[in-house]
Structures are given as C-alpha cells and as structure tokens.
Structure 1
Amino acid sequence: MSKETTKKDGFFVKVIKGIEVAGNKLPHPFWLFMGLWAIVLALSAVFEGVSVQKPGTEDTVAIMNLLSHKGFDWSVRSMVKNFAGFPPLGLVLVMMIGLGVTTKSGFLENLMKNIAKVPEKFIILAVFLFGICGNLASDAAIVIVPPLTGALFFSMRKNPIFGLVVGYGAVCAGFTANLFIAGTDLLLAGISTTAYQIVKPGAEVYPTANYFFMVVSTFVISGLASIFVSKFMMPSFGQWDEKFEHCQAAEEMQHGGGGFEVSEQENKAFRSAMIFTAVYWIGLISYAMVPGSILRDPVKDVLIPSPFIKGLVPILLLYFILVGVIYGKKAGTIKTAKELVNSMVEGVGGMASYIVIILPIANFIAAFSKSNMAIVMAVKLAEGLKNAGFTGFSLLVMIILFSTFVNLFITSGSTKWAFMAPVIVPMLYYLGYSPQLAQLLYRIGDSCTNSITPMMPYFPILLGFAAKYDKDAGIGTIVSRGIPLSIFFAVAWITLLAVWYFLNLPLGPGAGIFVG
C-alpha cells in the first residue's frame, strides 16, 4: 500500500473496510440463515416458559419450545407453507418479470445514460428524493430503486455496488420521510391508537400524525444525505473499478442495446418510450383523482387506501412490460412475442439464488415469531428502558436508539410497534409526551438501521444485484457501505428532532409534541 493511499484512507474508512473484510468472511447467506434457524430452535427449548404480560392486556405470552412434540410438528408441517407464503418472494418475482423486459430491451440502460448526463450532485439528490418518495409503493420500491441506482452509477462510471447501497438506504429512509401519506402511516396510526386508548379511552391517532415532520425530513434528509454521500463517501467508496467492465451486468446491458454510445435509432426509441411514460402515469393519476373512479376506494371514495395504492405492484409490472415493448420494437431489441417472454424468463432467472436463500430466511422468521421470543425480547427491553430513569430529550434519544437496536433483529415494522407501542406510548403519556411523538421516535429508529441489518427479507436480493457487478461481493460489502449512511441518518434525524422539540413545533395537523 502506498503512502498516498494510506493518507487517503483515514481511520473511519479503515474501520469500514475492516468491517467489509470481516463481513465477507461470514458464511453464504443460505448457511447463515440455516444457522440462525437452528439457533432459534435451540433457544426456544432453553428458554421455554419464559413469559411476559402482553402490554395493554391481561394476556401472558410465553416462549414456545419448537423442539417439543407440538413445536416440532409445527416446524415440519409449516416449512413449505412458510417458504411459499413468504410475502417478499412473490413481490420480487413479479417485479423482476417487468424489470427483465426493461433490461433486455435496452430501455433501462438508455434511461441511465440520459440521467448520467446530469451533474453528479443533483443525481444523488434525485436518488434520495425518488427513493424516499418511492416508499409510497411500499416494498416494491426496495426491489425497484436499488437496481436502478446501481445501473445509474454504472452508466456514470461510478461504483455500481455503492449505487445499490445508496438507493437501498434512500428507500429505507422513506419510512420516516415522505411527501405523501402512505399505507405505513395508516398501519402505524392504528397500532398507536390502540396503545393510546390504554390511557385515554376513545382517543385516536390519525395517519397524518407525523406528516409535517415527514415532509420537512424529505427535503432536509435528501439534501444533507446527498452532500454527505458526494463529499465524504463517494471519494472512498464510489470510484470506478476496471473489473466492472466485464461483469455480468455489463454483458446483460450489451445484449440489451450496446455499449456506452447511443445510436439515433435508440434515441428515437427512447423518446417514444418517454412519451408513453408520461401518458401512462399522467392518465392513471388523473383518472385516480376522478370521484367514483375504479382506482379509488369503493366505500370511502378516497385514494388512501385504494386499489390504485394497493395495486401499485401490478400497475408497475404493466408499465415495465409496455415501456420495454415500445422501446424494444423501435430499437429492434425485442421483435417477437417469444423474445418478450424470453426477456421475462431471464429477469426471473437471475433470482434463482434469492429463491434458494428464501427457504431458510422464511423459516427462520416464522420460527422466531412462532416461538414468541421476538415478543418477549421486545417487551422486556421496553420495560428495561422504562425503568432506566431517563428524562427529557435524553429519554427521546434513548427510545430512538432502542428502536434501532431492536430493528437489527425484528424487521417487521408493524410487529415491532405492536409490542413496543403499549409500553412506550403510555410511558411517554404519563411524562407529558404525545402518542404522536412516541410513534415518530419509533419510526426514526427503525429507518436508521433498516439498510444494514441482514435480517431484512430483501437484503439477499441486494446481494444478488451486487453479485452481477462483483461475484465476490458479500454481506460485508453491503453492510460496511451502509453503516456510514445509517450513522448519518441517526445524527441528522436526532438533530432535526431536537429542533422540533425545543421549538415545540407541531408534528402533524393537530398533533403536538406534548400532551394537550
């Protein structure tokens, strides 16, 4: 290593690279989750009978021994069901059918080449804004945004794996930042309302509870994150490596439309595809705004929830297929119906390793849930925090940190909040803090570590995308590059919360920081 390289690599960069090396020495995700599955089975036997009172109720929840006769029977009978019914699996495969068409046709590559002409600082800002607001599409955004940003960075001659991490981090940040009210807001508000009614019967927490904070977060986090990535992360992690010239992704793009030069025929095809894009989305959104439209809720005639929001996955699938066909026909990359089907097959075929990894992941998560260890751990940790004696703003920070820690092990947002809320909401209420604030603290903590926990169901698909650029990319490659972003999100959101707290600003319409 040269002196120049040593000088460039400061202490923090060396730590991150050390984490990468250590992380990449972990077993293949298949064996990692097989091991975790086995550990859960063993621990359920060791801690059998350990119980807690379910917050807000008189019910007792005890750890179930999955190695007992009853537990083993469940494990055997549910293994295939856990795998086939794993929610992310269907979503990923459906999205990859559409993305396969856009990739094979060459549309995705041409789109990235055109975006790459924009100055870098604005591109990264756009990635964060798009990723955060893309959370409106729920989990579909996790499947769509990272590969797009990876391809974008590839077109910019930047490290595409770092692009994947940035896109993934942006989507995960959307849990606490958005310009729109999403399904997550409805889900969490319902849980918060139930917890609030423990201390105040009949009270309600509305989906708009954190809206003001989330809108401001969208711009503040996107702006600061783009500066942080451009100035501090890009020089160390975003540089191009010649090995990317001959990676699997490069070969796929070449088969879909050539090298870095764009022909006149491809430009005409791209213009046609973009015209269709504008017509498709403007038409859909306009129709969704019309009262009585079939895209609106059939009972309340509203947009959230509605078939338009809940059906974004099939709507996106149809768009990807149609835009790919239009571009492919004009560019000459998709000429027949058979070629169209082949492009879909290739898109799904690239997910073979992900499908295999899902078997232990789905069963690990199901076993962890069935054993009740997740519930017992969450409740006991929350009670420990309650008895720790923190007050004032430091208490709020501790709740955020508590949420970030729990999120490393329990990734289902609704599950965590369902068992944290009945403890956190009443605790803060009696200290004078609103349930809307309690919900916000949980969301901040959850958003900070979503992008670095390997327990996230979509983490393996990120590894699959990364392998297309570097076959040696592993868990350490993704986690090490995500840690600086995770730390940044925590610092930025806690700072923004401090401003909100000390100025006593409203969190949303009719939702303050303090009770009353």
Structure 2
Amino acid sequence: MADSKNKRGMIQGFLDFVEKTGNKLPHPITLFAILAVLVVIASAILSAADLQVEDPAGEGETITVNNLLSSDGIEYMFTSMVDNFINFAPLGVVLATMIGIGIAERTGLISVLLRGFVLFIPKFLLTAGLVFAGIMSSVASDAGYVVLPPLGAMLFAALGRHPLAGLAAAFAGVSAGFSANLLLSAVDPMLGELTMQAAATIDPAYAEGMNNAMNYYFIIASTFFLTIVGTLVSEKIVEPRLGTYKGEHGENTDGLEKITAQEKKGMVYAGLSALITAILLALLIVPSNAPLRGEEGAVIQSPFMSSLVVVILIFFFIPGLVYGIVTKSIKSDKDVANQLSETMASMGMFIVLAFTAGQFVAYFNESNMGLLLGVYGAEFLNTIQLDGIPLIIMFVLITGIINIFIGSASAKWAIMAPVFVPIMMLQGYSPELTQMAYRVADSTTNIITPLMTYFAIIIAFAQKYDKRMGIGSLISVMLPYSIVFLITWTLMLIVWITLGLDLGPGSPIEYNK
C-alpha cells in the first residue's frame, strides 16, 4: 500500500513539475523573439571562433558561420525583416487553407458531420466511432475539441457507461491521433513547408521535388490502426479502471442534440456538392492530357501536387458554402465575408507568431548554423554509432519530451526542423521520415501536457461528471492512451521503415545524395 502511495506521489510530483516548468516558459511569440536574438549573438561568437565544415552538398566548398552582428549582417536583418515574415513557409498555406476549412466550420457543417457520425453508429461500435471521429476531426481541430469530448461523455452516460470513458476516448482521438487522417488537412502543408525549407539547406534540388502529401500513405493507415488501438485502450484499460459511474448525470439523453431536418437537408446538398467538386478536381489530374499533370504525364511531380493547398481550400469551401446556404446560416455574400473575417481574426495569434518565428528561421538559415549543426550532429552520431531504428526511437522520445513543455506543433517544428532534418538527411534518412517521426511523438503526448491549448476546456467538461477532476486526475486517465499510442505507433513506423514503403506520393524512407 505504501509503495502504491509513493508511486502516486512521484507521478503527481512529476506532473506538478511539468505544469510549473511549462507555465514559466515564455509565450511562443516571445520565445521565438528570444531565440532570434540568441541566434544573432551565437552567430557572432561562432564566427569569431572560425568554425567551418565541408559543404555536405559535395561541391568541395567550405561553409563558415555568417556573423549577423557584422555590418553586412545588420544590413541583412533590417532589409529582410518584412520578407522573412511574408516568406515564413507555413504563413500563406495555413491562412489559405483556413479560408476553406473556416467556412465549413463556421456554417456548422463540420460540427453536424461529427455529431451525426457519432449519434447514428451502432452502440457496440460507439467507442471505435468516437476515436475515429476524433482522429478525422483534425481537419478542423477546434470543432473536434469542442464537440466530441462532451458529446462522448453524454452518449456514454445515456447508455449507462462511465461518461469520463466516453470523454477520454473522444479526447484521445482528437488530440493523440491528431496526425492521422484519411484526408489532407492544414497540418500537412503547415509542417511540410517547414520540412522542405529545412531540407533545402542540405539539398535544394531534393527539396524542390518534395510535396505536402509526403506522409499521406502513412497517416491513412494510421487512422485505422489508432482507431483499433484507441478502442482497445478505452474498453480494456480506461473504462474498467474508472469503474461504475454513480453520479447524477447517468442515463440522461436530454443533452444530446438530434440532427434537425434542415441540418439533414444541408448535409445531403453538401455531400452532393463535395462529390461534384471531387469529380471536377479529378478531371484536372486524371486524364493523360489534364492541365495539372506534370512533364510527360507525371502525377507525383506535377502542378496538382504543388497546389494541394488550393485543392484543400476548394474541397472544404464549396460544401461549407452549400451547407450554409441550405441551412440559412449564409443568407448573402455579406455572411460569407463576415464568416471568413471571423476565421482570419481567430488566426491573429498565428500571424504574430509567424512574424517572430519567421525572423528566427531566416536568421538561423542565413547564419549557416543549421548546416554546421547538421554536420557536427551527424559526425557525433557516427562516433557513438547511433543510427537505424535506435536513432529514430531517440528522435521520437526527444520530441515527446519537448512536446510536454511546448504544445504548439508548428512552433516546435519551426525550432526542430532546421536542426534535425539536416542531421537525419546526413544519416541517410529522408526529410519525409523525420517529419513523420516528429508527428508520431508530437501527437501521442498532446493529451498529457497541461500546456496543451484545450486541456483546461477538457477539464471543465470532465468536472460536470466529477467535481474532483483536476490536471493530475485527467492526465492519469489519459496516460494509458499516451503510452500505448506512443509505443504501438512507433512500432508501426518501424515496421513501415523495415518494409521500405513510401510514406506518401514520391516520399521514400531513405535519402540518397
């Protein structure tokens, strides 16, 4: 009994440490500003130390650190500041993607699709349905966090099951399965652009041939895999541990909103418009003489693959618009303009983040510090003979630990990609693989960090059913998902690597110079 109390005390102590440490970290906007300043100072120090390496591109040239505090460096920082902001890789693609996803979310289409899916599946598939719907909701993560966990709790309570088990299953799908999906979402171009930018420091020609669907095959397979794993964890570990629910909200269906006749009509018309849109988009790439095919009829290296952001925008915008018109949430072009404005207003934090992050990334690349770190890091790994699967596992664990303290996926990858993508490339691993390993670790540890944006909201939902629910208790409920997802999803990635399967269209496991 004493050992059990000691273990709980150690876990709670660790969780308290995570919360306190994370809360002391600067806001990501401030963090990138600090990092940019540190890069400038470090560039002066390393330049004075005359560090240099041979160009890894194999051209026989020597790479040195550019001093950003020199006259040329100061001139660069002042004259490039606006360009660094505008050219920050994820800025344009995220804002453009959110035009389409935003209209589908604000008209209520995404919300009603998630609600309808969960409400109408057979009861014995409810847990799997919640996890699956959560994973799919990453195309519009806000809707997933706000709609599914409370809906899952209400459904479980209505069936006499523990409501927190339903909340946990939905939360696990939405957050821990964030990087799996059957569709490409805003996450793919957001991370992909940063990956391509980092890869270009080693091999610009290779980076030009990459595309934002670089992980698509793997995330499709992961959707089904994580649905099965999440269901098993829910029904075999989490729900039995929670026991029988004895609260006042059991077996009550009052809070479950039915799909109205108008919403059903909107879904039908939105579905038809999505089908027509898909057919029209297919005509741009499927025929041998289609306008968006590449040279000699290529599909992977084609204008279509280079314009996936536009494809995502159109595919969400048209059904969202149709749904809004049918359900009367859109009555004129002014409503469309207002909803798009609201979507862009919600991106204000990201836009400011893009300014400071853009400076950090640009300064880091201009200083050549990324190249030096890549070469020295690769040499260190060769010295300790860490490569292959152990190297991938180490990278996954490092990312998972960092994610506990820095929640934003794009902010973390903006810091990590310039360092780890070159290192892994010099070890023979493709940027596409490094990004996928990052996504595995980033997703699986989302649900156990109090610093995750929606963590407090999930606690508020949970406290409706258990007033004692706090940070530590919620993490203890979600920890089995995090551990099992991290282990099994990493094993799936290792099997994928062993089989040598492409991660996406034209996206191999290995990188060969």
TM-score category, normalised to shorter length: 0.5 to 0.7
Q: 2-side partners of 1:497 and 1:280: how far apart?
A: 33
When residues 351 and 287 of structure 1 are mapped into structure 2, their CA distance, relative to the original with a 3 A threshold, is closer
Gaps (5+ residues) in structure 1? 1-5, 132-141, 196-208, 238-257, 426-434, 455-459
Q: Which residue pairs with 1:39 in the alignment?
A: 38
Asked if the contact 2:52–2:64 (Cα under 8 Å) also holds between the matched residues in 1, the reply is yes
Q: How far apart are the structure 1 equivalents of 2:333 and 2:216?
A: 46
1:150 to 2:149 alignment: no
8 Å contact kept, 1:64–1:71: yes
* In structure 1, C-alpha distance between the alignment counterparts of 2:354 and 2:360, rounded to whole Å: 10
Match of 2:300 among 299, 304, 322: 304
Residue equivalent to 2:352:
356
1:424 equivalent in alignment to 2:427:
yes
Q: By how many angstroms is 1:149 displaced?
A: 2.7
Supply the distance in 1 between the matched residues of 2:279 and 2:340 (Cα, whole angstroms). 26
TM-score (norm 2): 0.66
Instruction: Kindly state the Cα deviation for residue 214 of structure 1 after the two structures are TM-superposed.
Output: 8.2
Partner Cα separation in structure 1 for residue 433 and residue 335 of structure 2: 50
Change (3 A) 1:340 1:28: same
Label 1:129 to 1:97 Cα distance change in 2 as closer, same or farther (>3 A): closer
SS of the residue corresponding to residue 52 of structure 1 reads strand
Q: Deviation of residue 266 (structure 1)?
A: 2.2
Q: Percent identity?
A: 25
Q: Distance in 2 between matches of 1:406 and 1:59?
A: 33
Could you tell me how far 1:353 is from its partner in structure 2?
2.0
How do 1:146-295 and structure 2 match up within 5 A?
146-154=141-149, 156-157=151-152, 166-167=173-174, 170=177, 172=179, 219-220=224-225, 223-224=228-229, 227-228=232-233, 260-285=257-282, 288-295=285-292
> How far 1:148 sits from its partner (Å)?
4.4
Tell me which of 101, 105, 121 is aligned to 2:107: 105
1:6-85 matches, cutoff 5 A? 12=11, 15-16=14-15, 18-48=17-47, 49-55=50-56, 57=58, 58-85=60-87
Per the TM alignment, residue 333 of structure 1 is displaced from its structure 2 partner at its CA by: 1.3
CA distance in 2, matches of 1:128, 1:301: 37
Local SS of the residue matching 2:67: coil
CA contact (8 A) 2:131 2:170 kept: no
Shift of 1:290: 2.4
Q: Who is 1:255 aligned against?
A: none
1:397 maps to which residue? 390
Stretches of structure 2 lacking an aligned partner (at least 5 in a row): 154-163, 204-213, 243-254, 403-411, 461-470
Aligned residue pairs, count: 430
Q: CA deviation at 1:348?
A: 0.7
3-state SS of 1:72 partner: helix
| 2:135 paired with 1:121 | no
The RMSD of aligned alpha carbons is 5.2
**Counterparts in 2 of 1:441 and 1:357: CA distance versus 1, 3 Å:** closer
1:321 maps to 317
State the 1:285 CA deviation.
Answer: 3.3
Give the match's secondary structure for 1:288.
Answer: coil
- Partner SS state of residue 300, structure 1: helix
Alpha-carbon distance in structure 2 between the residues aligned to 1:401 and 1:323: 43
The one-letter amino acid paired with 2:52 is S
Query: Residue 64 of structure 1 contacts residue 371 of structure 1 at CA under 8 Å; is this kept in 2?
Result: yes
The residue identity in structure 1 corresponding to 2:316 is: F
Cα distance, 1:484 vs structure 2: 7.9
Given the superposition, is the C-alpha separation of residues 231 and 87 from structure 1 closer, same or farther in structure 2, using an over 3 Å criterion? farther
8 Å contact from structure 1 (residues 146, 164) kept in 2: no
Equivalent pair of 2:118/2:130 in contact (CA under 8 Å): no
